[in-house]
Structure 1
Amino acid sequence: MNIKMYVNNEKIIAGMTMKDREELEQGNMALHVCLNTEYVLENRKKLATSLSSEIDNFVCANQTHSDHFHRVILEDKGRGAKTKDTVIPDTDALYTFEPNIILSSFTADCVPVFLYNNVNGLIGVVHSGWQGTIKEITPKLFNHLIEVENCNPGDFHVQIGAALSQEKFEVDEDVYVKFKNLGYANDFIYYKESTNKYHIDNQLTVKKQCELAGIPSDQITIDPTCTFLSPDGFSYREDKQAGRHLSFIMRKE
């Protein structure tokens, strides 16, 4: 199985499954876009085994490009792991203090954001497509963690996973204006006269959002892999029938 591992130490394991032509459905991990649910479940079981875990420890959400987040508790364990019927509804970010739970996020061009707090053990994962970015889901989550969960922003480490590159993320003026109106994304946008399109770096915009939330810049890492250009990437922009990467993070106990 093709897994891009971002963190693997005594406390945290986090990474992202990639397209793999040797696997069922090329390693697709999403039940909401698949040809055969059993193939996806086999892929998930294989991932769980590689993490020394079980499929029942996954927690999945029905992602709707919202700015909604959910604190995962022990009773949530297994939601969305084997069937769509049990997913956490209308949610694009998950966090938990619980160990041995695999928080999951599904992407095919959107930005996956992994976060972990070395002091109190909190972990989280965010699905930030361009709609989530302009709704500021990531900074809203951090503000909640700081204000409600009493986290210190300086204790967080953030990994921004593989996503659509600025070169391939071309948009019309309506989306450009939404990013411009954020007030801090202008440095991550360029205009291409030959196509009359704007190109936006969603990853760098999300990084800026993390910095504005108080996360130290040197504790934020970006994976430069473009899901469109890389043969290991699932890209909705390239292929509307594309499978999905699964971004995962788990705190070990």
Structure 2
Amino acid sequence: MTTNIYVNNNKFIVGMTMKDGTELEHNNMALHACKNLDYIVENRKKLAASLHYELNDFVCANQTHSDNFHRVTFADKGRGAKQMDTAIADTDALYTYEPNLVLCSFTADCVPVIFYNEVSGLVGVVHSGWQGTVKEITMKLFRHLTQVEQCNPSDFHIQIGAALSQEKFEVDEDVYVKFKNLGYADEFIYLHEGTAKYHIDNQLTVKRQCELAGIPTEQITIDRTCTYLSPNGFSYREHKQCGRHLSFAVRKGVL
């Protein structure tokens, strides 16, 4: 099983599963985009075991490209882990202070944002496709964590996971205008004269949102693997019928 482990220390595990031809459905982790639900459950169980957790420790949301987020408690343990109808509804970001819960986010080209707070122990995941980015889900979440949860933004560490590259993320003027209207994404956009398409760097736009929320630049890391160009990537833009990566964050606790 191919998994990028970005952080694994005495407090946190942060990572992202990748496409793997030796696994069931190429290591697809998504119940909402699969051929065989049982295969996805098996893949998730294998991931859980590799992290020294159980599948019932997973918490998943039904992602809708919204700007909604949810504070996860122990009451949410296991939601969406084995079946979609128990997932947290209409939500694209999860965070928790609770230990030993595996917060999950699913992507195939969209930007996964995985984070932890060194001081409070809070961890979380964000699904930011272009719609989530123009709705500023990441910035809204971190402002909520700063204002409502009383976190210091300088205590956060951010991992932006593999996503569609600027080269492959080409859009028409309607999407370009939405990014332009953000007021801070211009340097992450170029126009391809030959195709009259705009190319946008969604990862760097999300990084800028983190910075605008007060998170120090040096505490933001980006995996520049392109999910379209890499053989280890699931790309919805390349194949509409594709699997999904699972990005995860865990606060370790005494087991």
Q: TM-score, normalised by structure 2?
A: 0.99
The one-letter amino acid of 1:121's match is G
* Percentage of identical aligned residues: 74
* Map of 1:2 onto structure 2: 2
Kindly report which structure 2 residues correspond to 1:151-230, keeping only aligned pairs within 5 A, or say none: 151-230=151-230
Counterpart CA distance in 2 for 1:122 and 1:35 is 35
Do structure 1's residue 89 and structure 2's residue 93 form an aligned pair? no
User: Structure 1 runs of 4+ off > 3 angstroms?
Assistant: none
Counterpart CA distance in 2 for 1:144 and 1:34 is 34
Counterpart CA distance in 2 for 1:115 and 1:138 is 11
Counterpart CA distance in 2 for 1:154 and 1:20 is 36
Do structure 1's residue 47 and structure 2's residue 47 form an aligned pair? yes
* Aligned-residue offset at 1:143: 0.6
Counterpart CA distance in 1 for 2:108 and 2:190 is 23
SS in 1 for 2:30: coil
For the 8 Å contact 2:12–2:252, the answer to whether it is kept is yes
Counterpart CA distance in 2 for 1:47 and 1:145 is 29
Counterpart CA distance in 2 for 1:249 and 1:69 is 15
Q: Could you tell me which runs of 5 or more consecutive residues in structure 2 were left unpaired when the two chains were aligned.
A: none
The one-letter amino acid of 2:41's match is L
* Map of 1:140 onto structure 2: 140
SS in 2 for 1:221: strand
* Aligned-residue offset at 1:115: 1.0
* Map of 1:118 onto structure 2: 118
For the 8 Å contact 2:14–2:115, the answer to whether it is kept is no
Structure 1 vs Structure 2 CA RMSD: 0.3
The one-letter amino acid of 2:201's match is D
* Aligned-residue offset at 1:197: 0.2
The one-letter amino acid of 2:169's match is F
Q: How far does the alpha carbon of each residue in 1:219-241 deviate from its partner, in whole angstroms, 9 at most, with x for none? A: 00000100000000000000000
* Map of 1:29 onto structure 2: 29
SS in 2 for 1:44: helix
* Aligned-residue offset at 1:210: 0.3
* Map of 2:19 onto structure 1: 19
Q: TM-score, normalised by structure 1?
A: 1.00
The one-letter amino acid of 2:131's match is Q
Do structure 1's residue 129 and structure 2's residue 129 form an aligned pair? yes
* Map of 2:72 onto structure 1: 72
The one-letter amino acid of 2:191's match is Y
Counterpart CA distance in 1 for 2:42 and 2:81 is 11
